[in-house]
Every structure is written in structure tokens, then in C-alpha cells.
Amino acid sequence: MISAVTGRRREGPAPSGSSRRLRRIDHAVGLAFVAPVIIGVLGLGLVPFGYVIWYAFHDWNPLVGTFTWVGSANFSQLMGDSTVWASLGVTLAFALMLMVLNVTLAMVLALLLVQKLPGTTTFRAFFFSPVVVSTVAWVLIWNFLVASNGGINGVLSMLGIMGPNWLRDPDWALVTLVVIQVFKGVGMNMILFIAALQNVPADVKEAARIDGASPRRVLTSITLPLMTPTVLLVTMITLISAMDVFAPIQILTQGGPGRSTTVISYLLYRTAFVQQDFGYASAIGVLLFCVVLVMAALQWGTRKRWVHDEV
């Protein structure tokens, strides 16, 4: 994605007489080719987003049929709403825990499996397989395993440990969700890291080794610094997609116990489609968008401190 921004189109051949006509046709054809996606993203992305901002200034209950301008009332309600602030905290806790666990585990797996040893392909397939399984199927299976009388606690009780009711215990529910999601998605990040590890030039590592660097030193001083652009991209993608987690919450905990797993996107869903308060839900949507943007900007902003510059 980053190279997509800076990537330059190669220069075509110099225009000759007949290609001038072709160029004029090209203008029309080019616009026609991109029209579906441009119009689609405009109509189904940007315009709806504009509407959400507009709705956020209204009191709108589709059941009663009311749609009245209330100014910034929804936003001032938002500021004083402890549920919203709690869910903001839950969302950040969920996303940050998931990002740290996911990226760390992915890096460990990648370092183990980048070596060309017999069986590594099989293990890569093992770790990647949950990625192709649908989220709903994955969380349904885990729902059984983490139940109070499920497989995990069964194993723990054989060890003499009394496991908690993972998804019904306010101290454990969010962590359990994070772990289930990490197992689901870590294979993807592992593959991205393996690809990046393979791109670290062998001669640079070789040179360090000849200069007397230990394998650990090669890893920390050569390999990992050269990986940082990929790490930045992967952490950003992981964090942003964790900010709008929905299916696991809806299926496993419905935001509970209490509000310990009520993330913003789930709060938005409940406010709009259960409580039918579309105006307030729109204000929550604007907040969600701002939070995502701030998180992305923060990560992008700190990149100079830890991302190795390739050029």
C-alpha cells in the first residue's frame, strides 16, 4: 500500500501522429474504466459518511417517524455519556492487546518458520488455516471450548485448576475475545513477516556475521531493523481492523458481562438497530471514525522514531 502511493507510472512511448488520436480516446476510456469504482465509493462510502455527520445533528426515531434538527445535542450527550466513554476504553484495550499479542506471536512464528527445514510448510498451513475459516464458525467452535464446562476448563480441572467462566467473567471476557481473535488472524501476519524476512538481503547478514556478530546480534541489529517498514504496515492494519470488531462480540458476549466487552461498533449497532436511536448512533459513528483516524495518525506520526528508512 505504501509503495502504491509513491509508485510512479512508467513513461509510455513518445507520442507519434497516430497516437495523438489514441490519447484522446484514452482519456474517455480511462475515465470510463474507473467510473464504476469511483461512483461506487462516492455513493456507498463518501456520501453516506456525509449523511452520517448530517444525521448526527438530528433526533431520529424511525419507529415514531421523528426527524428533527437538535443541533449539537447528540454530541454534548456523547460527552457526558459514561457508556460511550467506557466503550471507548474497551475498544482501545481490545485493539491494543490484540495488536501487541498478534504482532509478537506472528513475528515469533515467522522467525521459526522462515528457516527451510522439513515440515515448515505444513506448520505454516496449520497456523494459516484459521484465516480462511469464517469468523462466525471460528468463534462458534471456541464458544464451546471456553464454556464453563467446556474443553479448556476440562483440561485445567485435570491439572487441579478451577478455570473461570471465561466469557461470563468481567475480568476475563475481553482477554478471552482477544485470544480467540489472535488465533484466528495471526497466520496472515506471520505470512507477511515471512515474506519480509525473505527480502532481507543475505549478503548484509553475511557481512555482519563475518565481522563477528552473534546470531542474536544479527537478528536485533540487522534483520529486525530492516523489517520495521513491514512491521509498521502490519501493526497499522491490525489495529485499524481491530477497531471495528463486531461478529465475535455479537455472537459470544453481546457486550457483556456488564459492559466489559461493549466496543464502540457494537454500541453503535445496539443504539441504531435495537434502540432505534439513529441520530445518536450516527454521532457514535462519527466518534468511531475520529478514533480510527487518530490511532492511524499516531502510528504514522511515530514512524520516524523506529522505522528504518530504506532510501
Partner 1 sequence: MYALLIVMSVPFVYPLLWMVFSAFKPANEIFAIPPTLFPTTWTLEGVSRIFTAQPFAQQYLNSLYIAALVTIGSVVVGALAGYAFARIRFPFASWLFLFLMAGLFIPTEVTIIPIFRWVTSLGLMNTHVPLIILPVLGPGSIVAVFIFRQFFLSLPEELEEAGRLDGLGRLGLFMRIAFPLAGPAIAAVSIMKFLASFNLYFEPLIFLRSEHLFTVSLGLTGYQDHYGEPLYNTQIGATALTVIPVLIVFLLAQRQFVEGLSRTGLKG
Q: Of 185 and 255, which has the nearer Cβ to partner 1?
A: 185
Q: Of 226 and 292, which has the nearer Cβ to partner 1?
A: 292
The distance of closest approach from Cβ of residue 112 to partner 1 in the complex, given in angstroms and rounded to an integer, is: 6
- Count of other CB atoms within 10 angstroms of residue 228: 16
**Three-state secondary structure readout of 1-51:** CHHHHHCCCCCCCCCCHHHHHHHHHHHHHHHHHHHHHHHHHHHHHHHHHHH
Are the C-beta atoms of residues 299 and 242 closer than 8 Å to each other? no
Q: Of 64 and 210, which has the nearer Cβ to partner 1?
A: 64
The distance of closest approach from Cβ of residue 92 to partner 1 in the complex, given in angstroms and rounded to an integer, is: 15
Q: Of 93 and 141, which has the nearer Cβ to partner 1?
A: 141
Q: Of 14 and 210, which has the nearer Cβ to partner 1?
A: 14
Pick left, alpha or beta for residue 150 (phi over 0 → left; psi -120 to 50 → alpha; otherwise beta).
Answer: beta
Q: Return the C-alpha cell found at 252.
A: 459470544
Q: Of 75 and 128, which has the nearer Cβ to partner 1?
A: 128
The distance of closest approach from Cβ of residue 174 to partner 1 in the complex, given in angstroms and rounded to an integer, is: 18
Question: Among 180, 174, 186, which Cα is nearest to 92's?
Answer: 174
- Cα gap 131→184, rounded to integer Å: 6
The distance of closest approach from Cβ of residue 291 to partner 1 in the complex, given in angstroms and rounded to an integer, is: 10
Whole-number Cα distances in Å, 191 to 194, 230, 234, 241: 5, 11, 11, 17
Question: Among 153, 137, 135, 133, which Cα is nearest to 145's?
Answer: 153
The distance of closest approach from Cβ of residue 188 to partner 1 in the complex, given in angstroms and rounded to an integer, is: 6
Q: Of 223 and 248, which has the nearer Cβ to partner 1?
A: 248
Are the C-beta atoms of residues 195 and 107 closer than 8 Å to each other? no
CB-based contacts of 187, cutoff 8 Å, min separation 6: 124, 127, 128, 129, 130, 131
The distance of closest approach from Cβ of residue 260 to partner 1 in the complex, given in angstroms and rounded to an integer, is: 20
Q: Of 161 and 204, which has the nearer Cβ to partner 1?
A: 161
- Cα gap 187→201, rounded to integer Å: 24
The distance of closest approach from Cβ of residue 200 to partner 1 in the complex, given in angstroms and rounded to an integer, is: 17
The distance of closest approach from Cβ of residue 210 to partner 1 in the complex, given in angstroms and rounded to an integer, is: 26
Q: HSE-up of 91 (CA within 13 Å, CB side)?
A: 27
